[in-house]
Amino acid sequence: MSQNIWVKMVKNHSAAPEYTTNNSTDAILSDIQVNAAALKYLQVLCEISRLVLETLVAMGSGFDCASKEEIKKILSLGVPPNKIIYAHPTKKLSHLKYAAEVGIEMMTFDNEMELHKVKHMFPTAKLVLRIKYDDPRSNFPLGGKFGANPDTAAKDLLEKAKSLGLEVIGVSFHIGSGNTHLDVYQKAIIASRKVFDMGAELGYQFKLLDIGGGFSGNTGSSINEVGIAVNKFIDQYFPDPSIKIIAEPGQYFVISAFTLVTQIHSKRCLPSQNGSELIRMYYVDISVFNSIIIGLYDLYVKIAPVEEAKGAPVYPSTVWGATCDGSDRVSPETVLLPELAIGDWVAFEEIGAYSLSIASDFNGFELPHVHGIVNRRDWKFLTEAAKRPMSKQKFATGDYPENYLTGLMKPSKFDTNYF
């Protein structure tokens, strides 16, 4: 995201922390071109803004929902039930009842008790067996909580589903968040093929494979490499073109689309442990509780001053969050930054996934505001040529969007600016 955009923001707005989101269609169109075999389902749980969802709806995306509230949110955007998968293997009864009432038929399971719940609450559901296949090198593996062992549990579960008269339509897996290891995808796809064959032996005709999410969207990562390899594996093990392949690239779409800009409100300097230098400690408006939750896992994003002089010397620094919690550190323990002062602004880049969507106002600190950014070409595409064109009023108030396309003006009623 262009640095002059950040400068405009901090000069024209209050001291409140703010997100900027780039609603460019480039990444979405590139992903569709590279992964033509996969029908995309956006994972709602990592989204940061309703605007993101509206943009993906305009592009024709399906959605992966994990709860009643997520399903309600997506239905409110006009998405038809057949483009939603209820991808939570263990569902609350009230949520399962709601899914039945609104016709969300596709849903995952990974255990026998879930089958009995579905039989009781939604016997006409179209079930997808979630198998366990973790990438041990992923940042956030999921197999400890979800997934049936494809070798020891899958066949028994399919037999139980058959005996209950339930329809199973396919297989899903998720190798973990923050993964790029192609060998694990191949092994997971091979395991899925074996489960497809188990189903065929029982009389099922599976027609869906969900390859999960966790795809990296950071600058420098390559979805092309993953997409090409996964398509190769799918062609090899699932050559039948009637089988629908879906993925859940929510993290990929949003992670690099958001930048968080916040102000330094306090500063102190302390000697290092050996006393040879001073450690600059900066305190900012945001925290691990309302923006940088990955900091609780010792994972951090790039920090850059909004206005930075090239070639300026850098010093060992620590950036602390706004709350009174001693663990509220939003940078590595030591990060090299130029000399900054109270009132300066810093930007946290690539912060779109699992940030505002799980934010808390702990200690009474307000959540950051969201400001959307779109260039003229993409504005015209999203409002005129997309599969489901968006209302122009989502992007500007009044008949002349030019002001909103060229600089920050007063916020619209959606608390966003588009330029």
Report yes or no: 315 and 385 within 8 Å, Cβ to Cβ: no
Task: Given the residues 46, 65, 269, 324, select the one marked as catalytic.
Answer: 324
* Helices (H), ranges, 79-222: 93-102, 112-121, 154-163, 182-201
Distance in angstroms (rounded) separating the CA atoms of residues 232 and 307? 45
Q: Which residue has the tokens 């999410």?
A: 213
Strand, helix or coil for residue 416: coil
Half-sphere exposure of 400 toward its Cβ, with a 13 Å CA cutoff? 4
- Other beta carbons within 10 angstroms of residue 318's beta carbon come to 18
**Core vs surface per residue 251-270: b (16+ CB within 10 A) or e:** bbbbbbbbbbbbbbeebeee
Amino acid at 296: L
What is the Cα–Cα distance from 29 to 24, expressed in whole angstroms? Answer: 9
Say if strands 244-248 and 18-22 run parallel, antiparallel, or are unpaired. unpaired
Look up tokens 């074996």; give the residue.
194
Q: How far apart are CA 300 and CA 292, in angstroms?
A: 8
How far, in Å, CA of 103 to CA of 256, rounded?
Answer: 34
- Look up 46 and say whether it is catalytic: no
- SS3 sequence, 355-396? CHHHCCCHHHCCCCEEEEECCHHHHHHHHHHCCCCCCHHHCC
Residues belonging to the active site: 324
